């Protein structure tokens, strides 16, 4: 690690660490990366909850075998 990269992180914009396309990567400070990642995780968690609510509302009390 050189001095220029110290304190920096590579952020994967789509959240997929296997996608190393240069358009998906962004160099951020460790602090910026932490903030962006926390926002992404909150968004995903919120949307998972919304999707579950939509599923429950649409299917009601359907039980699966």
Is the model's pLDDT at 62 over the cut of 60? no
pLDDT digits (tens, 9 = 90+) for 15-52: 888 999 999 999 999 999 999 888 888 887 888 877 77
Check residue 65 and give its pLDDT. 44
Q: Which residue has the higher pLDDT, 61 or 37?
A: 37
Q: Residue 36 class from Cβ within 10 Å (0-12 exposed, 13-18 middle, 19+ buried)?
A: middle
pTM over 0.85: no
Give the three-class secondary structure for 28.
strand
């Amino acid at each position: 690690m050189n001095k220029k990269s110290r304190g920096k992180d590579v952020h994967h914009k789509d959240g997929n660490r296997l996608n190393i396309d240069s358009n998906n990567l962004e160099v951020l400070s460790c602090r910026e990366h932490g903030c962006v990642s926390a926002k992404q995780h909150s968004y995903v968690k919120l949307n998972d909850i919304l999707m579950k609510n939509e599923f429950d509302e649409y299917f009601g009390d359907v039980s699966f075998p």
